[in-house]
Amino acid sequence: MSNPINIIDNKKQIELSVGSYSLKVLGGWKVIINNFSLVLREVDGKLEIKPKNTSWRTQSFRFGKRAKTIASINITKKAKYEIIFHNVNELKVKKSNLMSLSYFQNFIPTKKVQVCIE
């Protein structure tokens, strides 16, 4: 499990073992992805991994925050990867996904949105 990574911290490095991981957005349960994406690029090699969006967006709590699973990642080689975020301003997060509550809530500022890989 990785520590939370702020989406404005481009090229943050993380070491991952072989396996399947979930990409979770922290901060709220109403997540609108739009054109937001990320790529894991091997630090000492040419391997690039793009997460696959998931249709089963489960809700949970991680690090004391609301978390929503948005993608799955299959790692085929243990290595140190750098995370490269694209279109970070396109990712929109609200605390609640209930229509009656989220109507009155503002989107969380981009600089406060975090992700974790587990």
- The pLDDT value recorded for residue 115 is 96
Sequence-ordered strand ranges (E) for the chain: 5-6, 12-16, 19-26, 30-32, 37-42, 48-49, 52-53, 59-62, 65-75, 79-86, 92-94, 114-117
Bridge partners of 116, per DSSP, are 24
pLDDT digits over 16-66, tens only? Answer: 999 999 999 999 999 999 999 999 999 988 899 999 998 889 999 999 999
In the chain, how many domains are there? 1
Please name the residue that has the structure tokens 């990320």.
38
pLDDT tens, position by position, 69-111: 999 999 999 999 999 999 999 999 999 888 777 778 899 999 9
Q: Which backbone phi and psi does 39 adopt, to 5 degrees?
A: -135, 140
Q: Can you give the residue range of the structural domain that contains 44?
A: 5-117
